């Protein structure tokens, strides 16, 4: 079916995911041909949640653009960017949908979500699919860029007083060829006033959830703390640090990010490394 918001027209396609709060459909912006996701509240009571999600995505984008402008004044390489905006969906549009009829009274809120630099939505997939659908596990060096970019997103959000709310292997999306990492669902995110900071227990938990998701796709057992195969001695500090983060030993995402890359730089060169997996 086709829906309009007065400025743009969208062709809505297949349902790709659903939850108690919203449904996700593939859609295409008719004028540009751009593939997006059509996120619609399941009932009127969830309109406020989607509206808040839209506000948070706008805040993330506004601050990312501001920091990019500041960085442009001091960078020595014009091709270098901070790219915070690659770590969350782009809010393409947000409106109340008149065409989407419901048995309940009232109209439903819609967010149109896109991904910068991604032409086709199916380029992105939840990291959970690696284990559950593909029956594979990533290698340590592949885990480094997924974990590193995840911590970068977390540090950025926390620095703005925004907690992500839900971090697990279904909510971390990757595009393997471009080394893209996206935290998709911000519907449980909370924005803390400038006079407050995100409580320590929330920051610890979100760092922990990030590490646990990476351990999961490494094939690690979160109960027995075992990994498949032999871990070379040189990589044990890396594994130990992942467990420290998983055990909520760190409350500062920036420090976690810094310490993580100190370890990574001791182990591997900063050169492109292809997405690599092994059978489980």
Q: Which letter does DSSP use for residue 230 in this model?
A: P
Question: Is pLDDT at 83 greater than 60 in this prediction?
Answer: yes
Q: What's the whole-number mean pLDDT along residues 176-189? A: 96
Q: What angle do CA 264, 270, 274 make, to 5 degrees?
A: 95
Neighbours of 122 (CB within 10 A): 9
CATH number at residue 192: 1.10.510.10
* Confidence label for 18 from pLDDT (cuts 50, 70 and 90): very high
pLDDT at 102 over 70: no
Take residue 262 and report the two structure tokens written for it.
């100190």
Confidence of residue 101 (pLDDT cuts 50, 70, 90): low
pTM of the model: 0.95
Which residue, of 82, 114, 146, is where some domain finishes?
A: 114
| Residue 105 pLDDT exceeds 70 | no
Question: Which of 94, 114, 134 is the last residue before a domain boundary?
Answer: 114
| Section 247-270 average pLDDT | 97
Average pLDDT, the chain: 94
Q: Are residues 146 and 201 in the same domain?
A: yes
Task: Based on the fold, state whether residues 90 and 130 are members of the same structural domain.
Answer: no
Domain-terminating residue out of 79, 95, 114: 114
What value does the CA radius of gyration of the chain take, rounded to a whole number of Å? 20
Burial class (CB in 10 A: 0-12, 13-18, 19+), 275: middle
Show Cβ contacts of residue 2 under 8 Å, excluding neighbours closer than 6 positions. 9, 10, 11, 12, 30, 99
Domain assignment of residue 83, yes or no: yes
For position 229, what pLDDT does the model report? 81
User: Residue 178's Cα: distance from chain center in Å?
Assistant: 15
- Please report which confidence band the pLDDT of residue 218 belongs to, taking 50, 70 and 90 as the band edges: very high
Looking at the predicted structure, is the pLDDT value of residue 104 above 60? Answer: no
Count of domains forming the chain: 2
Q: Is the pLDDT of residue 167 over 70?
A: yes
Q: Above 70 in pLDDT, residue 103?
A: no
The per-residue pLDDT for 92 is: 97
Domain, as residue range, for 109: 2-114
Same domain, 157 and 188: yes
42 in Cβ contact with 23 (< 8 Å): yes
Q: What is the pLDDT of residue 66?
A: 97
The verdict on residue 119 lying in a domain is no
């Amino acid at each position: 079916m086709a829906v309009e918001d007065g400025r743009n027209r969208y062709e809505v396609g297949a349902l790709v995911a659903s939850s108690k709060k919203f449904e996700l459909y593939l859609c295409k912006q008719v004028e540009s041909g751009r593939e997006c996701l059509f996120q619609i509240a399941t009932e009127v009571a969830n309109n406020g949640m989607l509206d808040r999600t839209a506000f948070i995505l706008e805040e993330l984008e506004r601050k990312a653009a501001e920091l990019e402008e500041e960085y442009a004044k001091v960078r020595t390489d014009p091709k270098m960017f901070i790219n915070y905006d690659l770590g969350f969906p782009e809010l393409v549009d947000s409106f109340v949908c008149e065409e989407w009829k419901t048995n309940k009274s009232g109209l439903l809120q819609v967010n149109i979500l896109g991904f910068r630099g991604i032409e086709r939505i199916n380029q992105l997939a939840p990291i959970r699919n690696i284990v559950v659908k593909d029956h594979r596990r990533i290698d340590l060096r592949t885990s480094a860029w997924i974990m590193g970019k995840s911590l970068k997103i977390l540090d950025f959000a926390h620095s703005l007083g925004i907690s992500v709310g839900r971090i697990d292997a279904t909510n971390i999306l990757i595009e393997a060829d471009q080394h893209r990492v996206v935290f998709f669902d911000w519907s449980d995110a909370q924005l803390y006033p400038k006079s407050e900071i995100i409580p320590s227990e929330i920051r610890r938990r979100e760092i922990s959830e990030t590490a646990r998701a990476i351990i999961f796709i490494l094939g690690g057992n979160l109960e027995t703390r075992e990994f498949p195969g032999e871990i070379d001695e040189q990589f044990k500090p890396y594994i130990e640090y992942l467990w420290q983060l998983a055990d909520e030993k760190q409350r500062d995402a920036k420090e976690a990010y810094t310490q993580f890359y100190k370890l990574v730089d001791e182990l591997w060169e900063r050169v492109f490394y292809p997405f690599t997996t092994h059978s489980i």
